[in-house]
Amino acid sequence: MNITYYGHSVVLIEAGGKKIIIDPFITGNGLCPIKQEDLQADVILLTHGHNDHVGDTVELAKRNNAIVVAPFELATYLSWKGITTHPMHIGGSYTFDFGKVKLTPAFHGSSYEEEGQKIIYTGMPSGILFTHNDKTIYHAGDTALFSDMKLIGELNSIEMAFLPIGDNFTMGPEDAALAAQWLRAKTIVPIHFNTFPVIEQSPEQFIERLPDNNGLILKPGECITLS
């Protein structure tokens, strides 16, 4: 399983001959080293409906004939754009040919902005547990710290956890460090920071807070292989 980080909350997983991208905010993401048209994707996983997570989903899905897996309301909204979707909801799991996806709670908002000062409600936000060949990746999405992260850690053997540290809109470094302890993942990767001035953080200072010395900073465009 190969994992590439593209800045903000964008994570590309290559597993089972498929390219699976989470929250493909490429256009407008100043940290991302590639362009949307250079990216291939067979599957798009979405945590929630905010513009900086849905990002280039519609364009990517149409160009690659990709399936979009998302919370029910968001999947329904995107299906109206003419793309193939698989709706899910929190607590539910589904085993696809590329791996198993389970949606977890996330404490945040979820809506999509359209022209004319119109906000479309896109259901509850979520985190994602993705499992392939007995290796589980946890992408927390945008979330506050919440105590059920302890349960997520107890019920799952997490290989790598992607946690937001930007503060203001999500957990800050202090809360994310506590989340890391509760999740008990082998590796903790900080995400959702430094894309905008309001979420500027030091990832180095964050991983110094981790008592298990299990933090990993991935630079945008950097790839790691989980064997």
Q: pTM, whole model, 2 decimals?
A: 0.97
Largest CA distance in the chain: 49
In this structure, what DSSP letter does residue 142 have? S
Provide the pairing of β-strand 99-105 with 93-96.
antiparallel
Mean pLDDT over the full length of the chain: 97
203, two tokens: 């990832």
Which structural domain range is residue 59 located in? 2-225
Q: Which whole-number Å values give the CA distances from 9 to 78, 194, 227, in the listed order?
A: 20, 11, 23
CATH number reported for the structural domain that contains residue 109 in this entry? 3.60.15.10
Asked if residues 185 and 153 have their Cβ atoms less than 8 Å apart, the reply is yes
Asked if residues 104 and 88 have their Cβ atoms less than 8 Å apart, the reply is no
Looking at residue 114, its pLDDT comes to 83
User: Based on the structure, what is the number of domains in the chain?
Assistant: 1
**Cβ within 8 Å of residue 163, ≥6 positions away:** 140, 171, 176, 179, 180, 183, 188, 189, 190, 191
Write out pLDDT tens, residues 26-57: 999 999 999 999 999 999 999 999 999 999 99
Query: Which regions in the chain score pLDDT beneath 70?
Result: none
